[in-house]
Structure 1
Amino acid sequence: MSIPKHYEIRVPALNLLKAKGTLKLNEVVSDLGEHFELTEEELSEMYPSGNGHIFYDRVSWALSYLNMAELLDKPKRGHYTINETGIRLLKTPDKVNHYVDTKVNERETPSKSAKNKQLEVDINETSTSGTPSEKLFSSFEKIKNARKSEILNMILSKTPYEFENLVVKLLQKMGYGGEIKGSGLVTKASNDGGIDGIIKEDELGLGRIHIQAKRYDFKNGVGRDDIQRFAGALLGAPMSKGVFITTSYFSKGAIEYVDKLNSATIILIDGDQLADYIYKFSLGMQVEQTIEIKKLDTDFWDAMKDNE
């Protein structure tokens, strides 16, 4: 048979993990290869670019989507196990794909702008009727959005301290603190005064950016009260500059409060923006593949004589 699509792999993957318990990715690939009766040639078939085996990549995507839909758990890196939700859903296997797609879409933060939502509509419209360039862009956006969901999911699996350390590293990666030695600091939890981290903008530390980091579940937003407490903590701080970062979203009241704030400058970064910055500045990310799109150099060709 031909190599199955990633969505065709989801139900067999759930059944496999239900039968065998926790498995490594390579074990899932091997067992599913037998399930689909793939030949050695099919198992070893690579993308035209030569970057990665097709079946391995599709299994990895299937597991990733199942994990994002909270049907699978990852007890440790590279290991997958089915949870109670996954077992219950397997009783109606024909509903699995719809459930997964719905859950993955729900993970988009409520704060996503109308512009981004319109972009999603445009991308979906071009998926079937667009030009090759539009389809390439569509694929890029889909992969990027999937990676951003994985980023947020990974952050939620780490401790609050690790998240605070992560956002300090991110701001440094974005250029804040420059080449100043020890420019980033995570404050001690017992005595942070509402400040989770600090970025020194100059050698003497006269200019500082104060950080508050909230590692919230996607459905739990940051409210006005949280921002007010952070603003209060900034009152005695030099320059009164702060960045409030969350893995979830900010309520309308929180955003309005910051817009009207005069005593301090506070920048809000929600989960979608956070994942976007981590992706953009390659914090904890690796380049998987580089594709060059070329066009004719008109100056070069116009310099040649035309055939009369």
Structure 2
Amino acid sequence: MSIPKYDELRMSALKLLADGRTMKLKDFLDPLAQEFKLTDEEVNEMYPSGNGHIFYDRISWALSYLNMASLLDKPGRGLYTINSKGLEMLKNKTPEYINQFVDHEVAKRDKIKKVNKNPEIKILDINERSTPQEKLYTSFNNIRSSIYDEILSTILGKTPAAFEKLVVLLLQKMGYGGEVKNSGLVTKQSNDGGIDGIIKEDILGFGRINIQAKRYRLDIAVSREEIQRFVGALAVAQSNKGVFITTSYFSKGALEYVENLYGNTTVVLIDGKELAAYIYDYGLGMQVEQTIEIKKMDTDFWDSMADQ
């Protein structure tokens, strides 16, 4: 039997969690391999690049889609458990209905609201009419988006203090603070005055970037009032530079308020999707899993050769 596609694995993976247990990704390997009667060679088959097992990767995508459809929860990194919605689906709905539901829910995540920049993850569709290059780029973007989702889920499982430390490290990673020793500071929670972190831009500390970090659920917007309080905190700190970072998104009122700020005060807003992208792009807590090199013909080289 050939290795099942990720969408063929979804129902079986969901049923394995029906007893309420919490499983790691690797725990799905043996029971699913037995169910689909896979040989050891098929279970251990790797991608042509030699980097990654096909079956393991497809299980991972199946679980990701179930999680995006809110049928599974991730209580910790690499852990999966079924929730009440998933149990209800298994009890009352057919496999065909559940698969259609998952596809529908994932497709909905394509429609990211432009107004509030809600950091939902965009999964792009690959169709048979796509060129090989288009399929490659689409697959890359889907993998990247899946990692964004994992980054935000992981952050939400950490403490607010850990998040404050993370955003200070991120701004340093992005080059703010330069060569200044100990340029990043997380303020004491008991007396932070509305400032969660500070980046010193020069050795004497004349230039400072003040940070506020809000570790909110993805569906909770940061309001205009919260931005106003942050601007007030900047005034008390005699600072004209601020960065407000959240795991969620900013309300329309918050965005409009920042756009209409007058004077010398500059506030930069970073929502959850942008935060995940910066963490990914600057490699904070990330590892390079695989590098693919694609080459094209050098037309100048070949054109310089005599034609027959």
What TM-score, normalized by structure 2, do the two folds share? Answer: 0.90
Change (3 A) 1:66 1:205: same
**Does the 8 Å contact 1:25/1:80 carry over to 2?**
yes
The residue number in structure 2 matching 1:306 is 307
* Higher helix proportion (structure 1 or 2): 1
Change (3 A) 1:261 1:156: same
Aligned residues: 301
Matched residue type, 2:146: A
Change (3 A) 1:110 1:234: farther
Structure 2 alignment gaps of length 5 or more:
none
Matched residue type, 2:226: D
Change (3 A) 1:207 1:293: same
Deviations 1:147-173 (A, max 9, x none): 111111111111111111111111111
Alignment of 1:26-105 (within 5 A): 26-91=26-91, 92=93, 93-104=95-106
**Does the 8 Å contact 1:215/1:247 carry over to 2?**
yes
Alignment of 1:142-291 (within 5 A): 142-263=142-263, 264-291=265-292
Task: Tell me, in whole angstroms, the C-alpha distance in 2 between the residues paired with 1:85 and 1:72.
Answer: 8
Task: Tell me, in whole angstroms, the C-alpha distance in 2 between the residues paired with 1:277 and 1:105.
Answer: 25
Q: CA deviation at 1:238?
A: 4.0
Deviations 1:26-56 (A, max 9, x none): 2211111111111112111111111111111
Task: Tell me, in whole angstroms, the C-alpha distance in 1 between the residues paired with 2:20 and 2:39.
Answer: 23
**Does the 8 Å contact 1:44/1:53 carry over to 2?**
yes
**Does the 8 Å contact 2:116/2:250 carry over to 1?**
no
Partner SS for 2:296? coil
**Does the 8 Å contact 2:187/2:198 carry over to 1?**
yes
Matched residue type, 1:167: V
**Does the 8 Å contact 1:107/1:218 carry over to 2?**
no
Structure 1 alignment gaps of length 5 or more:
none
**Does the 8 Å contact 1:201/1:209 carry over to 2?**
yes
Partner SS for 1:15? helix
**Does the 8 Å contact 2:15/2:90 carry over to 1?**
yes
Task: Tell me, in whole angstroms, the C-alpha distance in 1 between the residues paired with 2:220 and 2:108.
Answer: 13
Q: CA deviation at 1:106?
A: 5.3
Q: CA deviation at 1:237?
A: 2.8
Change (3 A) 1:83 1:192: same
**Does the 8 Å contact 1:65/1:104 carry over to 2?**
yes
Moved more, 261-270 or 127-136: 127-136
Change (3 A) 1:246 1:20: closer
Change (3 A) 1:40 1:272: same
The residue number in structure 2 matching 1:5 is 5
Cα RMSD for the two superposed structures: 2.3
Moved more, 202-211 or 131-140: 131-140
Matched residue type, 1:97: N
Moved more, 129-138 or 249-258: 129-138
Matched residue type, 1:294: K
Alignment of 1:13-32 (within 5 A): 13-19=13-19, 21-32=21-32
Matched residue type, 1:192: D
Change (3 A) 1:222 1:76: closer
**Does the 8 Å contact 2:77/2:154 carry over to 1?**
no
Change (3 A) 1:174 1:106: farther
**Does the 8 Å contact 1:208/1:238 carry over to 2?**
no
Partner SS for 1:199? strand
Q: Percent identity?
A: 62
**Does the 8 Å contact 1:110/1:249 carry over to 2?**
no
**Does the 8 Å contact 1:177/1:199 carry over to 2?**
yes
Q: CA deviation at 1:71?
A: 2.4
**Does the 8 Å contact 2:20/2:82 carry over to 1?**
no
Q: CA deviation at 1:179?
A: 1.9
Matched residue type, 1:140: F
**Does the 8 Å contact 2:116/2:251 carry over to 1?**
no
